[in-house]
Structure 1
């Protein structure tokens, strides 16, 4: 398609604005044939025809390249724009008119010129871009430090896919403008994920959404879909700046801007005719690119706490598993599981025949999972047999408590306070995600209640310790109650909890002494 566009543009400019003659451009696989007719036509290989009338004789202008872009886009059947994303696109009243001693204008011009020479984008200095960069540096330095931390994980993943699709590696910065590298980011109109796909656009690129899974939040699948989308845009426009603009506002708006600009196809020449958000979108991308490329010069450092991409690996699961079951068995924190597997909306990895649902884990835990896979599934069978019942009838009404969510709360933290599972809290409160709001009221049926705001301590019956011989086990790094139970015959996780008065697995720390009785 890029070949078709280039030939059409060459033909258009060679005959001049007022000398457009009628030609048919016939598109067949890898070939283009030109035939002369009275009116201009674009004949697609599937039989579709676009008629380009020679309207100059009527006193009207027809920008053939813009019309051709429209037709190619319709032919691609990609109509849904990705938009309304964007916390890194500054509003007009947010841009500071400021000077920075660390970045005089002449130095910025030199650096932008160097970036322009190294990339296929048209990175040109202009005063507005300068003020966006300086506003970021003045107001958002700490935010970029956080972004650089997240980028340690996501950028290698992006670069791998971008390279596969022959897309400039600098396009990885687009995900910052779109989502601030938050895979569960959701805009006010429903665009979701690192690359902010709308529902229909996601479906078009095979990103499925169900009650359990939103593949728009899957870092691997969504990145591949974004690459396919960007590659198709580049085929239409033949220009990465215009592809960026079309990614944001849709190709139709870019085509309109080309027409309103007299047929110009340079982004900077059509920018004033683009929607305001899109007009600021590409400069936001350039500003982000600049700050990442010159982070050292501006003393912006990434934190070192996030997992690196190479420190993770993926396995395909063979039955439904919950994050809580994985935490209980191989001792991977639920927060880590959520970070590595954000596509699972309910912290549950479903198992569906003929669908390949995968689990991403730190490399150090992959071996532990594979070595104990059958036992983990058996544990999940036992746990599911307990949990797949309606709200327990044995729970008395007066044992129910209401908890009001406070700042800093998350479901894992609340579940520990009450000695219950995250999945039960979600089930009791008909929750489809783990998101909480300050002041939100949660119904809890606690097993054991600590001193917690908005809750009353409940009386519990303590099981007496068994009388008999026992040994002391010292908890090692990486241990879980389940892994410890596997070392002894006929000992369950609940046994160890009861014998050692453990109500939260979080209390299991290296060096902890546990009593293990012989059964």
Structure 2
């Protein structure tokens, strides 16, 4: 199992078109965790093993064991490629034309990026079944799965130079519009299933607008406004190739790249391209809703699965912690074998994890949501850099949110900001108030735990807060609730 996921880790780290892995913080892990060893129920484990052997085997999904070297690249006649492309075009509502632009991208993928394509063929064995299930739910062409290769090279941690993130490369604002939330713990743009559903929903909306899948692709890349402008400038043409001269430069290559990927992924063996052996198939994993806060190190120790494997299967958790937030649900993906161990020992795992968090054996940041839109009015002396520091965001993000090409701003100008944190003056004035008897009234914020709140006040414990406020369960507090605290 460890070797299998080590191979997969190599696929992610080396198989990116462009990527800047998301933040990952290593957390202190006490040696005392090593003493815990959990086992699965023997009968349930036998059933899983029987299902694996009867329904599928790992060999069905692992690709070929050997890779063709670059010296053995088959020479494929242009007429044969055109004939194959015509066959693909007859099978799909996409307009899969073959021309000089598409030929250039086929050469890029089939000849100059062979090693990367082999890795993506391996990753496709895990991601494509997931994509196809979702595409079928939305009644969309299954060929749309190839768009994730163009966007991210099937790397859920891929980040573009302008801040787009995930398999489907959502910008922050577009992702939020599609229901993908970002906090200090979680970036749902990197969640394979949630981001795929968001991409399908968005692409369906674009198709409803333009009535053509190629135009929907162009709009996904550059925005519907740019496609609409190109249609006007072309004299009302509604064909991608007719409006292509008026599209942004990147979008002009976007659809040809998508068509080329369709071809290469379908005829990879004919070009001597084979999948790099990959991890488990999509069907050999399972998902469970997590009831209480867990750290990846804890999950690794309790199940025996490498932390790297947990990170790969759960890429949306930025800091290696699955949080516990009132009103929100968080999920864990594991191989079936380790999932059996987790379920069989679930109560014990949560209890031990809670003890470690309480003893501060595992450090954790404060939960901060990033889905609140704010409008900042520029004051004298402020720059984009200072404003970014104030809200915990980058200059580039502020520029993208407000359509700014440069860094020049003027006093009184209003800027849209999606903050990672609120300015200090705001949080201190809105969350606490001191009464005449020295007690403090604290307003619970999203992501707060009693342990987090107690740490803000010297000499105060979580048990103290529970006693002062007649709270029976530490998990029962909710955002907006007012707590009375008596600092020592």
- TM-score under structure 1 normalisation? 0.55
**CA deviation vs aligned residue, 1:207-234 (integer Å, no higher than 9, x gap):** 0000000011111110000000000000
Structure 2 residue 192 is matched with structure 1 residue 219:
yes
Classify the secondary structure of the residue corresponding to 2:334. strand
2:123 matches 1:155: no
Superposed displacement of residue 373, structure 1: 0.5
Distance in 2 of aligned mates of 1:297 and 1:389: 51
Q: CA distance change for structure 1 residues 101 and 369 in 2, over 3 Å: closer, same or farther?
A: closer
2:144 matched to which residue of 1?
Answer: 171
**Partner-residue secondary structure (3-state), 1:387:** coil
* 1:342 aligned partner: 315
Q: Which residue of 1 aligns with 2:80?
A: 107
User: Which structure carries more relative contact order (alpha carbon 8 Å, separation 6+)?
Assistant: 2
Change (3 A) 1:138 1:348: same
Deviation at 1:268, TM superposition (A): 1.2
Once residues 171 and 74 of structure 2 are traced to their aligned partners in structure 1, the CA distance between those partners, rounded to angstroms, is 42
CA distance in 1, matches of 2:363, 2:98: 64
Tell me if structure 1 keeps the 8 A contact 2:356–2:362: no
State the 1:280 CA deviation.
0.3
CA shift at 1:386, angstroms? Answer: 2.7
Aligned-pair distance for 1:284? 0.5
Shift of the alpha carbon at 1:377?
1.0
Does 1:308 pair with 2:308?
Answer: no
Deviation at 1:354, TM superposition (A): 1.6
| Residue 118 of structure 1 pairs with residue 74 of structure 2 | no
Runs of 4+ residues over 6 Å off in structure 1: none
Q: Take 2:276 and 2:362, find their aligned partners in 1: how far apart are those partners? A: 44
Q: Does 1:206 align with 2:179?
A: yes
Q: Does 1:280 pair with 2:233?
A: no
1:356 is aligned to 2:329? yes
| Aligned residues of 2:143 and 2:262 also touching (Cα < 8 A) | yes
Equivalence for 1:192: 165
Structure 2: how far apart are the matches of 1:188 and 1:131?
A: 24
What do the CA deviations read for 1:230-280 (whole angstroms, capped 9, x no partner)? 000000001000000000000111111111111111111111111111010
Alignment of 1:370-381 (within 5 A): 370-381=343-354
Deviation at 1:184, TM superposition (A): 1.1
| 264-273 or 318-327: bigger deviation | 264-273
- Structure-1 residue corresponding to 2:237: 264
Q: Does 1:130 align with 2:66?
A: no
Question: 1:326 aligned to 295, 299, 307, which one?
Answer: 299
Aligned pair in 2 of structure 1 residues 101, 171: CA closer, same or farther (>3 Å)? Answer: same
Distance (Å, rounded) in 1 between the aligned partners of 2:312 and 2:95: 35
Task: Describe the SS at the equivalent of 1:152.
Answer: helix
CA change 1:101–1:153 in 2 (3 A) is closer
Q: Indicate the SS of the match to 2:273.
A: coil
Q: Secondary structure at the match of 2:312?
A: helix
Residue aligning to 1:244: 217
Q: Supply the distance in 2 between the matched residues of 1:168 and 1:290 (Cα, whole angstroms).
A: 15
**Per-residue Cα deviation, 1:447-478 (whole angstroms, up to 9, x for no partner):** xxxxxxxxxxxxxxxxxxxxxxxxxxxxxxxx
The higher radius of gyration belongs to 1
Q: How far, CA to CA, are the matches of 2:113 and 2:363 in structure 1? A: 49
Number of aligned pairs? 295
Alpha-carbon deviations, 1:356-404, whole Å to 9, x = none?
A: 101111011111111101111121122223326889xxxxxxxxxxxxx
Is the aligned partner of 1:142 residue 2:115?
Answer: yes
1:306–1:101 distance in 2 versus 1, CA, 3 Å: closer
Measure, in 1, the Cα distance between the counterparts of 2:362 and 2:285.
35
Residue 135 of structure 1, CA deviation: 2.7
Equivalent-residue separation in structure 2 for 1:135 and 1:329 (angstroms) = 45
TM-score by length of 2: 0.59
Asked if the contact 2:125/2:278 (under 8 Å) is kept, the reply is no
Other structure's SS at 1:138 match: helix
Q: Which ranges of structure 2 fall in alignment gaps of 5 or more residues?
A: 1-15, 19-72, 365-488
2:364 aligned with 1:386: no
Question: CA separation in 1, counterparts of 2:326 and 2:127?
Answer: 30
Q: 1:213 to 1:260 in 2, by over 3 A?
A: same
Contact 2:203 2:216 in 1 (8 A): yes
Distance 1:389 1:253, change over 3 A: closer
* 2:477 equivalent in structure 1: none
SS in 1 for 2:359: helix
Which residue, 260, 263, 272 being the options, matches 1:290? 263
Unaligned runs of 5+ in 1: 1-85, 89-99, 392-519
Distance 1:278 1:195 in 2: 15
Q: Which residue of 1 aligns with 2:202?
A: 229
Q: CA deviation at 1:126?
A: 1.0
Are the counterparts in 1 of residues 293 and 354 from structure 2 also a CA contact under 8 Å? no
Query: Is the CA contact 2:152–2:158 (under 8 Å) kept in the aligned structure 1?
Result: yes
CA distance in 2, matches of 1:220, 1:121: 24
